[in-house]
């Protein structure tokens, strides 16, 4: 009978606040209702940048954090990805122009390997040789800049549009460029994009987690 009562005992859940690391001013990323804060370790939380900056112009960007520290009623997420929503990239595409996409891995100053996916749009149609040269220059320029900064600082330069603007200035000396964007930057672990147990909503208000 005692065992049956124990089995029927309801575990009381509590809200755990999830914050970013100090490099992102320990901004609050959200909350989660769990039986034990340790359940959150290893999960990913996706946050719209506009909610962190109160700038609606940045709602097309999302950041992902992996929860790697849990203590009492607080969890800390480490930044692992920067992503621009596909719809925002699609709106940039124009007829009569050449779209150049790329994807490659390079290393940041703090030793993290990151897969970077840049996007380039010319002002007019570019022939194959020109496109190939632009892609090569774009990759080399980005890789050179990335190795100078930490992963967190890299994302900061992307949020401020500095890396994209500098790359555009370099490339337009070869051919007229309309847009230069970074579609995504994600931490790579052991040759693969970092994958952990599951993704957690930024603000989880339901009794049951996904």
pLDDT one-digit tens code per residue, 180-195: 999 999 999 764 555 4
pLDDT of 5 over the 70 cut: no
Average pLDDT over residues 24-37: 84
pLDDT in tens, 138-159: 999 999 999 999 999 999 999 9
Half-sphere exposure of 171 (CA within 13 A, CB side): 32
Domain 86-193 matching CATH 3.90.550.10: the answer reads: no
Spatial contact of 66 and 77, defined as CB atoms under 8 Å apart: yes
Q: How far is Cα 27 from Cα 25, in angstroms, rounded to an integer?
A: 5
Question: Mind listing the pLDDT tens digit for each residue in 91-116?
Answer: 999 889 999 999 999 999 999 999 99
CA max distance for the chain: 81
CATH 3.30.479.30 segments of the chain: 86-193
Least confident stretch, 19-28, 88-97, 161-170, 196-205: 196-205
Whether residue 209 is predicted with pLDDT greater than 50 in this model: the reply is no
Percent of the chain with pLDDT over 90: 60
Question: What whole-number distance in Å separates Cα of residue 76 and Cα of residue 70?
Answer: 6
């Amino acid at each position: 009978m005692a065992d049956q009562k124990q089995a029927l005992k309801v575990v009381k859940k509590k809200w755990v606040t999830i914050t970013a690391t100090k490099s992102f001013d320990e901004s609050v990323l959200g909350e989660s209702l769990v039986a034990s804060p340790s359940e959150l370790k290893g999960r990913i939380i996706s946050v719209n940048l506009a909610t962190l900056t109160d700038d609606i112009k940045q709602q097309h960007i999302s950041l992902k954090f992996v929860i790697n520290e849990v203590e009492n009623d607080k969890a800390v997420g480490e930044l692992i990805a920067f992503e621009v929503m596909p719809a925002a990239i699609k709106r940039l595409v124009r007829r009569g122009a050449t779209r150049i996409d790329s994807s490659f891995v390079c290393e940041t100053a703090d030793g993290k390997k990151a897969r970077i996916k840049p996007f380039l749009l010319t002002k007019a149609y570019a022939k194959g040789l020109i496109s190939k040269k632009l892609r090569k220059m774009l990759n080399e320029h980005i890789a050179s800049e990335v190795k100078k900064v930490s992963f967190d600082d890299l994302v900061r330069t992307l949020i401020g549009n500095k890396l994209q603007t500098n790359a555009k200035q370099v490339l337009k000396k070869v051919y007229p460029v309309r847009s230069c964007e970074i579609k995504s930057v994600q931490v790579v672990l052991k040759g693969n994009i970092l994958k952990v147990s599951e993704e957690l909503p930024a603000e989880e208000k339901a009794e049951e987690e996904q």
